[in-house]
Structure 1
Amino acid sequence: MKDITLGALDEIPVGEGRTYAVDGAQIAVFRLRDGSLRAVDAVCPHRGGPLADGLADEQVVVCPLHGHTFDLCTGAEANGAELSVRSYPVTTVNGAIRISR
């Protein structure tokens, strides 16, 4: 695994997500209301919905197109569908967002 710096933490308002391009992949990073971060693939495997635009709470993100719900820690589809996205370890270092990939 390698650590990759995505951008400044201040780029993501609390309660929202942003998409970053990393080595040809799209990764959604969410800054949760409690201040913690979560990172998952940014594209819903169902029909390509933009997960960073979905509603997120401390546990899940809901795809804005068709309502599939993904666990922000594991990437598993929370309602039992055979869909999943990859989740990534994410931290901040000196105000910068870093993921391990």
Structure 2
Amino acid sequence: MIRRIPVPTGKQPPLGGRALFEFEDKSLALFNVDGQLYAIDDSCPHQGASLCGGLLSGRVIQCCAHGLRFDLSSGYLLNSNLVKVRNYPVEIIDDQAFIVLYEEAAP
């Protein structure tokens, strides 16, 4: 099942910006890189530090706790396919941003 979660207008980051977005039990970090929106879990998979406040360089976010760097488009740790932060597609429909969540249907 697909759910589209609308991003409140005040939480849509400007070009080059970022925003923290709380939804149900999730804390998501939104980034606007060259006009493209990226959404990831705000918790680093290493020890749970916030990623939203990390150093952003292009599409790469660096965790401020231990320096791990993740590609926003794939969620993977740079130079690895073993460690990943969960990432979510972002769709723009009629100037409204939506975070797309894919949920498994209950059996």
Identity of aligned residues (%): 32
What is the match of residue 18 of structure 2? 17
SS of the residue corresponding to residue 84 of structure 1 reads: coil
Alpha-carbon displacement from aligned partner over 1:5-49 (angstroms, at most 9, x marks no partner): 0211674232122111122011111011x1111111111111221
Counterparts of 1:51-66 in structure 2, within 5 Å, are 51-66=51-66
What is the match of residue 9 of structure 2? 8
TM-score of the aligned structures, taking structure 1 as reference length = 0.84
Cα root mean square deviation, aligned:
2.0
Q: What runs of 5+ residues in structure 1 fail to find an aligned partner? A: none
TM-score of the aligned structures, taking structure 2 as reference length = 0.79
The structure having more radius of gyration, on CA atoms, is 2
Please list every run of at least 4 consecutive aligned residues from structure 1 whose deviation after the TM superposition is greater than 4 angstroms.
none
Q: Distance in 2 between matches of 1:86 and 1:4?
A: 16
Aligned residues: 100
Q: What runs of 5+ residues in structure 2 fail to find an aligned partner? A: 102-107
